[in-house]
Amino acid sequence: MKKDELQIDQRELVEAWQRTLPITMNESDSADVIADGADPKALRVHIRTAGHQAYSFDFKVEYVDSREVRVELVDVEKDGRSVDERTDQIQQLIQDYTRHLHECAQALQQLTHA
């Protein structure tokens, strides 16, 4: 086992993310965090934008080591249908949410970095 590998139980990690992510995100947006069933070092994050836009974003957040996460966009939907994520507006939202996810991981370093 690498010295800097993630040492925390996935269930604890999910609970910590559920507590912390709303603090790092826009107050009006909402998010769900669940364990990635296929990868014990990864989480699935579903973010819903506030207001009339009705966008939702699915991300995979994978711990590369105890401090660093890799954030991968899985899907973007509007009103429950997949949309083209290459538009400027959606790209901006993806960048914002990716930053929020990294901020959440950073805020949890005292928990994840053994």
The residue among 18, 15, 19, 97 whose CA lies nearest residue 55 is: 97
Average pLDDT for the chain? 92
Q: How far apart are CA 73 and CA 61, in angstroms?
A: 9
Which region among 3-12, 32-41, 81-90, 98-107 has the lowest average model confidence (pLDDT)?
3-12
At residue 103, the pLDDT reads 96
Q: In this structure, what are the phi and psi dihedrals at residue 45, rounded to the nearest 5 degrees?
A: -120, 125
pLDDT tens readout for residues 56-93:
999 999 999 998 999 999 999 998 899 999 999 999 99
- With 80 as the cut, is the pLDDT of residue 110 above it? yes
- With 50 as the cut, is the pLDDT of residue 9 above it? yes
Position 2 confidence tier, pLDDT thresholds 50, 70, 90:
low
Q: How far apart are CA 95 and CA 19, in angstroms?
A: 22
User: Residue 106 carries which DSSP code?
Assistant: H
Residue 1 lies in a domain: no
Domain that holds residue 83: 10-109
Q: Say which CATH number the domain at 65 has.
A: 3.10.110
At residue 1, the pLDDT reads 46
Position 13 confidence tier, pLDDT thresholds 50, 70, 90:
very high
Angle between helix 88-107 and helix 10-24 axes, rounded to 10 deg? 120
Residue 80 lies in a domain: yes
Beta-bridge partner residues of 32: 46
**Percent of the chain residues past pLDDT 70, beyond the cut:** 96
At residue 114, the pLDDT reads 63
Residue 83 lies in a domain: yes
Residue 31 lies in a domain: yes
Residue 5 lies in a domain: no
Number of domains in the chain: 1
